[in-house]
Amino acid sequence: MTETKVDKKPGFDHTLVDAKWQAQWERDQTYATPTDRTKPKYYILDMFPYPSGDGLHVGHPKGYTATDVVARAKRMMGFNVLRVMGWDSFGLPAERRAERTGEHPSVITERNIGIFKKQLQRLGLSYDWSRELATSDPRFYKWTQWIFRMMFERDLAFRAEMPVNFCPALGTVLSNEEVHEGKYVETGDPVERRLMHQWVLKITQYADKLLDDLDGLDWPSGTMTKQRDWIGRSVGANVKFGVVGSDEKITVFTTRPDTLFGGTWVVLAPEHPLVDAITTPEQRAAVAVYREEVGKRSERERTMEAADAPKTGVPTGAFAVNPVNGAHIPIWIADYVLASYGTGAVFACPAGDERDHAFATKFGLPIVEVVTGSPDVQKEPFTGDGPHVNSGFLDGLRNEEAKTKVIAWLAERGLGEASIRYKLRDWLFSRQRYWGEPFPLIQRQDGSFEAVPEGQLPIVLPQIDEYRPTRDGKPPLARAEAWLKATDAAGQPATRETNTMPQWAGSCWYYLRFLSPQRDDVAWDPEEEKYWMPVDLYVGGNEHAVLHLLYARFWHKVLHDAGLVSTKEPFPRLFHQGMVHKTSYRSAAGKYFHAHEVEQRDGQWVVKETGEPVETKLDKMSKSRYNVVNPDDLCAEYGADAVRLYELFMGPLEDGVEWDTKGVPGTRRFLDRVWRLLVDPETDALSGKVGDLGGDNRELERTLHAAIKKVTAAVADLRFNTAISEMMVFVNVATPAAAIPRPWFEAFVKILAPFAPHVAEEIWQRLGHTTSITAEPWPAFDEAKLARDVLHIGVQVSGKLRAQIEVPSDATEQAILTAAKAADGVQPFLAGKAIKREIYIKGRLVNLVV
RNA sequence: GCGAAUGUGGCGGAAUUGGUAGACGCGCUGGAUUCAGGUUCCAGUGGGUAACACCGUGGGGGUUCGAGUCCCCCCAUUCGCACCA
C-alpha cells in the first residue's frame, strides 16, 4: 500500500504502537517463563508448525491467537505460564527442494524458520522465545535418538521383514496411519505393498492403555472416537475348526461365538497358508484362478470397493467340522476376508452378519436362524440381541450369556478360548529419506544390531552430495561412505543404520523438551517436569486426531513406564481450532487464479482476461491454490491487534470459516473507538472524558461487569467471539457517555489487553502507569452490578408477542401483570375475552392465555 | 453403505439451554461534519404493509400457554470410516 496517510487520524497509529511495544517486551523480557515456584502453573501449547517455504497465512494465527489470549489472561490471573513455540522442522518439502536446488535442507529450513518467526512476532504473540526449539537441531534430536535408544533397549523397537506401504514417488515406506485409500495422505501419491526390512515400534503393546486412558481426557469427542476406532479393540474368541479327512485345524477369530450354531461355512483369506493343503484336486484349478485374480488387484482396489462390493469367492472342496455341533460345512476362500486381520479365517453365520448374508444369498448357502428378533433371516440378517434358538445348549440365552457359556464350553474341550484383537498395527518407524533423525544403531558383521552408546549421541546427519536414494535402492545416507563406518561394542567393524526416523518422531516428545531446552546434559530436568507437566491446554488442528496425538501418547506412556515422566497422559485437555478457508478459482485445465483475476458474469465465474470459466471451491489456503491471505499485509494496514481480534471474532474457534478480509476494518474501528474514549485524536492529548466523574452511569457499569464476566468465561471455555461482542457493547455505551470513571475504564483496558496487547499497553501508559499491563491483576466482576434497574418485559397474548412494558426491577408480579393487561398493544387482543391463564416468567415475559 | 456434525437476515454469526429470534460485526440506506473523497458521529436495516394484520430459524408433522431449542419423518451440505469377522 503506497497511499499517503490521511491527515486526520481517526485513532491510534498502529505502526508506531506495534513496533514500540514489541521492542519494549523484548527489551524487558516480558514473556520470559517465571522461575519462582510459588504460583500455580499453566502450560499452554500450540501444535508446532512445519516451517514450509510458503510462510504463514491467516489460518495459522487463529489457534495461536486463541492460546495467546488464554496465556495472557492466565498470567494476569496469577499463574506462572509456560508459553512456547518451536519448529517441526524435519520433513519432506525441504528435502525435495534440496533435491531440486542442491541447497542443504538445513539451510532451507533455517531460512523458512526465520520467515515464520518474524511473522509470528509481528502479531505480538507472547512466546518465551528463549525456549525456541527445532526438531532438526542436533541439540534436539540427540534426545529423540536417546528415547529411541531406550525403546530399543526395552525391546519396543525391532526390525522385521514385512509387507509395508511403499510410495514409489517418494521412494520411501510409510506407516499405516499415513496411508488412506491407497494414497499418501499428504500428497496423494499412490502407495503399494512391498515386502521389506523395516524398523517397527511396538505400539500394539500399549493398545489397551492407549484405549483405556482416553476415558479421563477432556478432548473433543470426535477425536476420542477416532482414536478408539483406530485402535479397534474387538473382544471375542479364537475357535478351532477341524478339517474333514485331515489333521489340519483352522483357527478363526470371532466376536460372535454365540452364533456358532448358525455357522454354515468357513472362509479363508485367499492368502491363508492352509489353502494349498486342504484344496481338493477338483477345485485346485478354480482356486488357483481366483487367487490369481485377487493377487492382480491391488490392495487399494480391494479396499476402495469396500462394503457394498459384490461378494466373490470359490469353494476349496474341503469341509470343516463345526466344533459345537459336529456339522460338516464347506470351506471357501473369498477376498472379503483379510489375511492381515485376526487369523485370516472366519466362520460365516449369515443369519447374524451382513457380509455373510450377502455371500449366502449370492452362492445359495444355507441360512440358519440362531438369534430371534428378525421377521425373516432368509431375507435380512439380524445383528441385535435376543434369545438364541437352534443352538443346542445355548437355546434361550441372550447374546452375552451365550458368549460366556460357549467360550467356557470350547475352552473345556480345547476347541477355543477368549481372545482380544486390535485393528491397530505396530508402527512402521523407518523412512528411506535424508532429512530425518538418523537411528542410533549400528549393524554388526553378523547382521545383528546394537545401539550406539549414549555418550556418542547425537549421531549427526552427514553431509552428502545428493539427497536421493542410491542406484541400488539404498537410502540416501548410504551415500555417506565415511560416516557409515563404525565400530561395535566388541571392537569389530560395523555399519551405521541408513534409514531415518519419520517426521512424527520429534513431535512425539517436543512438549517435554520445552521444559529445559538449554540443557545438553538431560532431555529435560525432572524437577521442571514435575512442576510443568501435564500440558494444561493443547490446541491444534483435528488433522492430527489419530497420527500425532496417538504417537505422542504412545511415547509418553513408554516414558512413563520408564519412570521419566510423572503423568500417564501428556495432554489432558485438547482443543481443535477450525480451519480457515478461502475460495479458490480453478479452470478446467487445472490452473488456479487469484481472486482479482476472476469475476462473476451471469452467475458464472470466469477469468477476466479470457472469459474462461473457472470452478470455485472453498479450499484450504495454500500458495499453489493462489488463495493465501498474508497476515503481514493485514498487520501493516490495520495493526496486529485488529488482526488478532478479527481472528477470534469471525466465529466460534472450533468452526471452520471462510476468511473475509472485509471484517478486519470492523475490529480496527472498535479499537479506534476505545482509543478515542481516552485520547483526543486532534491533539493526541487526553480528552479528559476518563476521570473522576460518571459513577452514576448504571448502564455503563452494568455493561462493564457483563464484559468482564463474559471475557473471564471465554478464557475458560475458549469462546471468544461473543466475549469480543460484549466488549464492543461496553464501548458502544461508553462512547456517548459524558464521562467515564477511571477505574471502570482501567478494568476494561485490562480485559482487552489479552486480545489487543499493543494498544492496551499504549493506553495503559497514557493513563500514567509505568509498568506493563501484562502484570496487572485480572479484574473481578460483581454479579450484583449485572442487574438492570428497569426490566423490559415482553407481553404475549396466547403465545404471541403483543407489547413490551418497562417496569422497575423491584416490581411485584401482581403489579407487572396489571401493567401487562393495561399495555397498549395488548388491549385489542383481550377485548371481550376471558383470560384463562396468566403466566409470568421472572424478569422476562408475561403470557396472557385467552 | 455406516457414523457424526451442521442448516438462523444480503454476509460472519448471537440467543441466559423451553420464555421478547436476529446481540455484536460486515454490508447497505438516509442525515450531519467535509470543497471533495475518506474518516467520524447520528438514525435505520428479517420479509411484508401507507400503517396494521400477517409471515419468518432447511421442509413436513407433533408435544406445550409458549419451540431456533424437545420428539417423529424427510431434504441438503460437510466431515470421518469404509468388508476388521
d(CA A81, CA A755): 17
Nearest protein residue, CA measured to C1' of B5? A222
How remote is the C-alpha of A805 from its chain's centroid? 49
* The pLDDT value given to residue A265: 95
Report the distance from CA of residue A670 to the C1' of nucleotide B46 in Å, as an integer: 25
Closest CA to A505 of A143, A76, A55: A143
Average the pLDDT over A213-219 and give the result.
91
CA of A181: nearest nucleotide by C1' is: B82
| Contact yes or no for A200/A429 (Cβ under 8 A) | yes
Average the pLDDT over A575-593 and give the result.
87
pLDDT at position A309 over 90: no
Report the distance from CA of residue A845 to the C1' of nucleotide B67 in Å, as an integer: 16
pLDDT at position A3 over 50: no
Nearest protein residue, CA measured to C1' of B21? A801
pLDDT at position A8 over 50: no
Nearest protein residue, CA measured to C1' of B16? A844
CATH of domain A790-849: 3.10.20.590
pLDDT at position A528 over 50: yes
* The pLDDT value given to residue A617: 81
d(CA A412, CA A415): 8
Domain range A233-422, CATH class: alpha beta
Is there contact between A344 and strand B, defined as CB under 7 Å from any strand atom? yes
Nearest protein residue, CA measured to C1' of B41? A736
Strand B proximal residues, A:125-184, Cβ < 7 Å: 180-181
Q: How far is CA A314 from CA A268, A279, A294, A333, in A?
A: 10, 11, 12, 6
Is there contact between A493 and strand B, defined as CB under 7 Å from any strand atom? no
Average the pLDDT over A605-632 and give the result.
85
CA of A358: nearest nucleotide by C1' is: B83
Is there contact between A809 and strand B, defined as CB under 7 Å from any strand atom? no
pLDDT at position A4 over 50: no
Report the distance from CA of residue A398 to the C1' of nucleotide B4 in Å, as an integer: 30
d(CA A192, CA A684): 68
pLDDT at position A306 over 70: no
pLDDT at position A1 over 70: no
Q: Determine which of A179-183, A413-417, A502-506 has the lowest per-residue pLDDT on average.
A: A179-183
pLDDT at position A126 over 80: yes
Average the pLDDT over A252-261 and give the result.
94
CA of A668: nearest nucleotide by C1' is: B25
Helix axes A92-101, A105-122, angle to 10 degrees: 130
Burial state string for A135-162 with b = 16 or more CB within 10 A and e = fewer than 16: bbbeebbbbbbbbbbbbbeeebbebeeb
d(CA A786, CA A402): 61
Q: Which parts of A405-461 are beta strand (E)? A: 416-422, 427-428, 441-443, 449-451
Burial state string for A234-265 with b = 16 or more CB within 10 A and e = fewer than 16: eebbbbbbbbeeeeeebebbbbbbbbbbbbbb
* The pLDDT value given to residue A648: 95
Q: Determine which of A359-368, A613-622, A774-783 has the lowest per-residue pLDDT on average.
A: A613-622
* The pLDDT value given to residue A308: 63
pLDDT at position A303 over 80: no
Average the pLDDT over A588-596 and give the result.
83
CA of A655: nearest nucleotide by C1' is: B6
ipTM: 0.94
Report the distance from CA of residue A352 to the C1' of nucleotide B72 in Å, as an integer: 29
Helix (H) or strand (E) holding A92: helix A92-101
pLDDT at position A357 over 80: yes
Nearest protein residue, CA measured to C1' of B4? A222
- Say which residues have a Cβ less than 8 Å from residue A747's Cβ, sequence separation at least 6: A704, A708, A779
Is there contact between A255 and strand B, defined as CB under 7 Å from any strand atom? yes
Average the pLDDT over A663-673 and give the result.
94
CA of A229: nearest nucleotide by C1' is: B81
Report the distance from CA of residue A186 to the C1' of nucleotide B33 in Å, as an integer: 57
Report the distance from CA of residue A817 to the C1' of nucleotide B63 in Å, as an integer: 27
- Say which residues have a Cβ less than 8 Å from residue A180's Cβ, sequence separation at least 6: none
Is there contact between A406 and strand B, defined as CB under 7 Å from any strand atom? no
Average the pLDDT over A776-785 and give the result.
94
| Contact yes or no for A377/A354 (Cβ under 8 A) | no
pLDDT at position A296 over 80: no
pLDDT at position A2 over 50: no
* The pLDDT value given to residue A5: 39
What is A259-270 written as a DSSP string? GGGG--EEEE-T
Altogether, the residues listed in chain A come to a count of 850
* The pLDDT value given to residue A6: 41
Closest CA to A627 of A583, A566, A679: A583
Give me the residues paired with residue A190 across strands. Answer: A183
Is there contact between A849 and strand B, defined as CB under 7 Å from any strand atom? yes
Q: What percent of chain A shows pLDDT beyond 70?
A: 97
Residue A355 three-state SS: helix
Write the pLDDT tens digit of every residue in A530-566: 999 999 999 999 888 888 999 999 999 999 999 999 9
Maximum average pLDDT range among A127-141, A284-298, A807-821: A127-141
Query: For chain A, what is the mean pLDDT?
Result: 91
Average the pLDDT over A40-44 and give the result.
98
Is there contact between A838 and strand B, defined as CB under 7 Å from any strand atom? no
* The pLDDT value given to residue A791: 85
Is there contact between A308 and strand B, defined as CB under 7 Å from any strand atom? yes
Domain boundaries, chain A: 145-228+435-496, 233-422, 663-786, 790-849
Helix axes A547-561, A221-231, angle to 10 degrees: 70
Rg (CA), chain A: 34
* The pLDDT value given to residue A842: 86
**Protein footprint on strand B: which nucleotides are under 7 Å from a CB?**
1, 4, 11-16, 19-21, 23-27, 37-42, 54, 65-67, 80-85
Maximum average pLDDT range among A179-193, A337-351, A826-840: A337-351
Average the pLDDT over A350-376 and give the result.
89
Query: Which has the higher per-residue pLDDT, A439 or A100?
Result: A439
Average the pLDDT over A483-493 and give the result.
95
pLDDT at position A144 over 90: yes
Q: Determine which of A632-636, A754-758, A795-799 has the lowest per-residue pLDDT on average.
A: A795-799
Is there contact between A796 and strand B, defined as CB under 7 Å from any strand atom? yes
Report the distance from CA of residue A604 to the C1' of nucleotide B50 in Å, as an integer: 40
Nearest protein residue, CA measured to C1' of B34? A8
pLDDT at position A795 over 60: yes
Is there contact between A566 and strand B, defined as CB under 7 Å from any strand atom? no
* The pLDDT value given to residue A9: 57
* The pLDDT value given to residue A406: 96
CATH of domain A663-786: 1.10.730.10
Is there contact between A8 and strand B, defined as CB under 7 Å from any strand atom? yes
CA of A846: nearest nucleotide by C1' is: B19
Average the pLDDT over A236-260 and give the result.
94
Write the pLDDT tens digit of every residue in A721-739: 999 999 999 999 999 998 9
What is A19-58 written as a DSSP string? HHHHHHHHHHTTTPPP---SS-EEEEEEPPPP--TT---T
Q: Determine which of A6-10, A313-317, A694-698, A771-775 has the lowest per-residue pLDDT on average.
A: A6-10
Write the pLDDT tens digit of every residue in A151-205: 999 999 999 887 788 888 888 888 888 888 778 887 888 888 888 889 999 999 9
Closest CA to A232 of A423, A392, A480, A43: A423
Is there contact between A3 and strand B, defined as CB under 7 Å from any strand atom? no
